Amino acid sequence: MLLVSIGQLLTLQGSPAGSRPRRGRELKEPGIIADGAVLCVGGKIVCVGTTKDALRDPWLRKNRRKVTEIDCTGKVVLPGFVDSHTHPVFVSPRLVDFEKRIEGASYEEIARAGGGIRSSLEGVRKAGKSILTGKVLAALNDMAAHGTTTVEAKSGYGLTLESELKSLEAIRDAASRWPGTVVATLLGAHVVPKEFQGRSPKYVELVCKKMIPRAAKRKLAQFVDVFCDKGAFTADETEQIFEAAAANGLDVRAHMGQLSETALWPFLRFNPASLDHMDHVSEDDIPQLAKRDTVATLVPGANYFLGLKEYPPARKFIDAGVPVALATDYNPGTSPTMSMPMAMSLACTHMKMAPAEAIAAATINGAWALRVADRKGSIECGKDADLAVFAVDDYREIPYWFGANHCEVSVLNGTTLKLL
């Protein structure tokens, strides 16, 4: 497949960040080629450059008739988005919570009254696997329609051994029917379910001794996540869960600082791929993060949907040299959006990220947050053919036109999805 005459081709290549996530000024270098072209063969990118150079390529000259050509005149092409934080395994939207919040209740008040995460458990526990697979697949397709080609998908709305494994199987089954790439995460430690109320050590034991070993043995997850916050799991419990993950060969990531501040240093020895939300972070932890490759994944969709005035301190992170990524946090409670451009728009308007920074955070740094940057997140020879074509003249229009989808074509591992 050949994409030609691309108005602006954003390669996201060529920065010193080739061997680590982007930080500071590196986030502002989208690597634009005007009148660009990308040649993809067998699901891989094989040639990136100007249209003029591509058309001179001897292989292409010989094989031009065999190649499917997509004319991208007046369009923007960029790496498919890497949505590195989603919770797609749930059955129903949480409409009662939505209305209660509009009437003034907070996320935590609703959770304490039996709403929130716990109210999604029954649906997932009762659902057959194929229902869950269908829900996940529908979400993946919607994400692809908005330009996303790699998705991290968490379990976390079952919270029994059986229903967490069922959720991970649903992610695996949906992934096998979707042309993009899915990275699965076990979030057995989302909250303590009702039947373990007052006995959280017992529940942590179930996560550590049963869920993690079984998910690892069956290769159903690459990561273990913990919701470390008030009303969920403590720092000590999070460390125990990370120990179990490491003992079973799984990498770790966590929901951190969404509702309250937690000191991050005890977790850094586990080398988390990413710490997510990060609305509340101590000034002392920021320089520590700046020295490491752990990505701060910001999910402004949650702040927007909960109607919060404050957003994560993206500028503080970026200016201090902390690598940041952006993700949707797609879930029924705090962020029911599948749209990375929406998350990017919120990042620009509410977190004062420049459009170029938002794009790097949604592509190459998302790939770092999932430890797939060797094959995802930029348009470079040898990487997977994951591309998004937007029907706009200038890349800054992607976060600018909020609430509208201008993604015209998504290419997922070389498979084309035409949308407009």
**Which entry of ligand NIG, Fe ion, none binds 302, CB below 5 to 8 A by partner kind?**
ligand NIG
Closest distance to ligand NIG from the beta carbon of 120 (Å): 6
Contacts of 186 (CB under 8 A, 6+ apart): 154, 155, 164, 168, 211, 212, 215, 220, 221, 223, 224, 225, 250
**Which entry of ligand NIG, Fe ion, none binds 416, CB below 5 to 8 A by partner kind?**
none
302: contact with ligand NIG by CB under 6 A: yes
Q: How far apart are CA 306 and CA 55, in angstroms?
A: 50
**Which entry of ligand NIG, Fe ion, none binds 333, CB below 5 to 8 A by partner kind?**
ligand NIG
Q: From 63, 37, 62, select the one nearest 51 (Cα to Cα).
A: 37
**Which entry of ligand NIG, Fe ion, none binds 7, CB below 5 to 8 A by partner kind?**
none
Closest distance to ligand NIG from the beta carbon of 350 (Å): 16
Closest distance to ligand NIG from the beta carbon of 279 (Å): 10
Contacts of 197 (CB under 8 A, 6+ apart): none
Of 26, 169, 237, 329, the one binding Fe ion by CB under 5 A: 329
Q: Which is nearer to Fe ion, 191 or 351 (CB)?
A: 191
Sign of the CA dihedral with 83 first, then 86, 89, and 94 last: negative
331: contact with ligand NIG by CB under 6 A: yes
**Which entry of Fe ion, ligand NIG, none binds 366, CB below 5 to 8 A by partner kind?**
none
- Which residue's C-beta sits nearest to Fe ion? 329
Closest distance to Fe ion from the beta carbon of 295 (Å): 15
Q: How far apart are CA 219 and CA 216, in angstroms?
A: 5
Amino acid identity, position 67:
V
Of 333, 341, 355, 377, the one binding ligand NIG by CB under 6 A: 333
Task: List the interface residues with ligand NIG, window 222-251 (CB under 6 A).
Answer: 227
Chain center to CA of 91: 20
Q: What is the DSSP letter of 114?
A: T
Closest distance to ligand NIG from the beta carbon of 239 (Å): 18
Of 117, 140, 296, 314, the one binding ligand NIG by CB under 6 A: 117
Q: Which is nearer to ligand NIG, 258 or 410 (CB)?
A: 258
Of 334, 337, 378, 413, the one binding ligand NIG by CB under 6 A: 334
Q: How far apart are CA 107 and CA 94, in angstroms?
A: 12
152: contact with Fe ion by CB under 5 A: no
Q: How far apart are CA 352 and CA 324, in angstroms?
A: 13
Q: Which is nearer to ligand NIG, 237 or 329 (CB)?
A: 329
Q: Which range, of 30-38, 178-186, 284-292, 321-329, touches Fe ion by CB under 5 A?
A: 321-329
The count of chain residues that interact with ligand NIG, using the rule CB under 6 A, is 13
Dihedral Cα 44, 50, 52, 58, nearest 10 deg = -30
Dihedral Cα 255, 315, 182, 69, nearest 10 deg = 170
User: Degrees (nearest 5) of the Cα angle 115, 255, 27?
Assistant: 130
Burial 87-120 (b: 16+ CB within 10 A, else e): bbbbbeebeebeebbeeebebeebbeeebbbbbb
The count of chain residues that interact with Fe ion, using the rule CB under 5 A, is 1
Q: Which residues bind Fe ion (CB under 5 A)?
A: 329
Q: Which residues bind ligand NIG (CB under 6 A)?
A: 87, 116-117, 120, 227, 255, 258, 302, 329, 331-334
